[in-house]
Amino acid sequence: MGSTIVIRSNLTEDLILTRNLQMIVLELGRAGSLSPGDIGNGFFDDFRTNTGIDSGLSSNYTYDGTNKKVSPVTGTMDLVSVATTSLIVPSTAMIALLIKGFDSGDTLSAYFSSSSTPSWTEFTGLTQVVSDVGVEGIDQFVSDRISVTGSSDKSIRCEIQMGLSQSLELYGFCCVWS
């Protein structure tokens, strides 16, 4: 058992978004037929600060600390999380994102790495599953569960790429693995 979720959040502010991100943790587990004991590790970032963003590997984004969101500057944003040390060597992973302003012409992809030198595996099946998750205009996107292979490292990172529309806003993401 002994699951660990690393939460980069100040729970006293914007409680609706924080609760939605916490619900995503549970939904990701259910969507992948994972019981709580099967989830080896995970984290979510709701951008209360930008400390969860690896500024050296990320590009083409702007962080808005007042509104607690990340947006593309021009073209495609490439946002990479700081490394998180897992309790286990992951074999599967899933991701969920809270996004505002996503249109059918916009691009969205996400990746997972379990190596200290990132080697990315793409999350497949990113699909909008909920509209207006308690905050008007913010939608929830969830991936399929992917297999993670090739590394016995426990240094976990997620990468999110989105772009085209300059009105896109990323309010948070959650990644779990087992």
Separation of alpha carbons 140 and 151, rounded Å: 30
In terms of phi and psi (left: phi > 0; alpha: psi -120 to 50; beta: otherwise), the region of 66 is alpha
Torsion of CA 83, 171, 72, 101, to 10 degrees: 150
Asked whether the predicted pLDDT for residue 77 surpasses 50, the reply is yes
Q: How many helices (H) and strands (E) does the chain have?
A: 1, 14
Task: Select from 3.20.20.80, 3.40.1160.10, 2.60.120.260, 3.90.470.20 the CATH code of 5-177.
Answer: 2.60.120.260
**pLDDT, tens digit (0-9, with 9 covering 90-100), for 79-100:** 999 998 888 888 888 888 888 8
- What pTM was computed for the model? 0.80
Q: Map out the domains of the chain as residue ranges.
A: 5-177
Contact 162, 99 (CB under 8 A): yes
